[in-house]
Structure 1
Amino acid sequence: MQRTNRTRLIACMFGLTLLPLAAHAGEVQQREATQQHRIAQGIHSGQITAGGANHLEHREQRINQSRRSGLRANGGHLTARQYHHLNQRQAKLSRRIYIDKHNRATQPGVPRQ
């Protein structure tokens, strides 16, 4: 009985150590989706020009390629260092989206909303 409880406790503790890794993956994907939505909204409203959109999309593709290669290299997981680097790149992209949406450049022919 005591051994069973100890085994359950160890299994539970091991499971809890894996939760942050799963949270990282979901957090990265959620952030990508949010940024994609912000880019699309900026294009639709005319706040982001065609050239700006192409630049942002290209940067987003490079981040996605980096994430995929990190996942392939580590059996479907990102190391803490890779996650940190990926998070920094996404933060820079987020700032760039904000700047492009608020730089007063507009796409010709698209009325501002």
Structure 2
Amino acid sequence: MQLIADILIAAIAALHLYFLYFEMFAWDTIGRKTFKQIPADVFPKTKALAANQGLYNGFLVAGLIWSLLISDPIWADKIALFFLGCVLVAGIYGAFTASKKIFWVQGMPALIGIIFVLLS
């Protein structure tokens, strides 16, 4: 179970690293392709806001990776649960405020990760 939990944590961290990249550095390209429902003229105006959002994703990545590097299993689980919980809350909030798809892309993997950490 621990190996599966660690793989899920690493995968969720990689996903958020991708979010960091496109929100901070590729908002006008990948962001525009991802959020097709947003008019094209909005992207240059919201570049700084997207970069700020990407920075927060970077903090989630840092916390999730940190949890994988901690040698004490109890402490590692607590850190992982905290950051997975943050991702889950963000996914739930995004589902209510922006798109239900956000829950399935962000929230559900975090929820599955939480379950596997608790079972390990």
Normalising by structure 1, we get a TM-score of: 0.45
Normalising by structure 2, we get a TM-score of: 0.44
Question: Which protein has the bigger helix share?
Answer: 2
